[in-house]
Amino acid sequence: MQPSSMHYFPLAWPFLVGLLFLFFVLVALVELGILRYAYERMGIPPRYVLTVLLLSLVGSAINIPVAQFPPEQLVSGGLIDFYGVQYVIPVVREWPGTVLAVNVGGALIPVILSVYLLFKNKSYLRSFLAVAVVAFVTHWLARPVPGIGISLPIFVAPIVAAFTAIVLGWRHAAPLAYIAGSLGTLIGADLMNLGRISGLGAPVASIGGAGTFDGIFLAGIVAVLLSPVSASSHVPGEEVRK
């Protein structure tokens, strides 16, 4: 096995640059003071949120192997187009079979931040319902893609997470959208479809990686942009309800 083949950016460069551009737009909005209070309303100081988003983008190139499927005919190298987005297939030689991995930027970091937001905002029931809705929709729309694993149309997670968060908790839309978009996608699209990975010929099937990372990252950006909704409906002194 070649360790270097485990680590690669899941998106083709034009799409990766596009996400990086969106990130810098958020940086500009924060520096201009437009989203500063909104970030704090989300439950995290603005610089920390930006740091987490940047780490997620950089961490998308890091995969932690956790399991291995039986050897099969693998697809090696190239790009796969899925709903207009190009995903990278790593070049491998002497590969033992499909390696199941956890993506740092698309799974590990979002899970840690989601758990933090869950306890910070103490909106347990709303969060559970929002995650369940996103998990159901993403599981329904996720598709097995040869060479990649499980993939999801890029805008499904952020749109469903945003809509669900606004409906379930207008005042807490921002943290709800992030929690639902991250955990819901990981559970519905990735974890609930693990049984469909075998036979796809993917060198690396990454949870939160190629196929779902872009949607999870955009869900984070949408959550930040929803923060003004939460802020505008905030009543000073009001406690967050469970």
Model confidence at 28: pLDDT above 50? yes
At residue 134, the pLDDT reads 96
At residue 71, the pLDDT reads 62
Is pTM beyond 0.95? Reply is no
Model confidence at 242: pLDDT above 50? no
At residue 222, the pLDDT reads 83
> What average pLDDT does the segment 195-210 reach?
82
Of these ranges, 31-45, 51-65, 72-86, the one predicted with the greatest mean pLDDT is: 51-65
Q: Is 174 helix (H, G, I), strand (E, B) or coil?
A: helix
> What average pLDDT does the segment 124-142 reach?
95
Higher-confidence residue: 82 or 175?
175
Query: What are the extents of the domains in the chain?
Result: 3-232
Q: Residues 138-175: pLDDT tens digits?
A: 999 998 888 788 888 888 999 999 999 989 877 788 88
At residue 195, the pLDDT reads 84
Lowest mean pLDDT among 9-23, 171-185, 226-240: 226-240
At residue 236, the pLDDT reads 41
Angle between helices 124-141 and 109-121 (to 10 degrees): 150
Pairing type for strands 143-145 and 79-82 reads unpaired
Q: Residues 172-202: pLDDT tens digits?
A: 888 899 999 999 999 999 999 988 887 777 7
- Structural element, H or E, at residue 241: none
Structure-token pair, residue 13: 């460069």
At residue 186, the pLDDT reads 95
> Across the strands, what pairs with 143?
151
Question: What letter represents residue 4's amino acid?
Answer: S
> What average pLDDT does the segment 82-93 reach?
71
Of these ranges, 44-58, 79-93, 163-177, the one predicted with the greatest mean pLDDT is: 163-177
Model confidence at 1: pLDDT above 50? no
Question: Hey, how many other C-beta atoms are within 10 angstroms of the C-beta on 114?
Answer: 21
Q: Where are the beta strands (DSSP E) in the chain?
A: 63-68, 79-82, 85-88, 99-103, 143-145, 149-151, 204-207
Distance from the Cα of residue 39 to its chain's centroid = 19
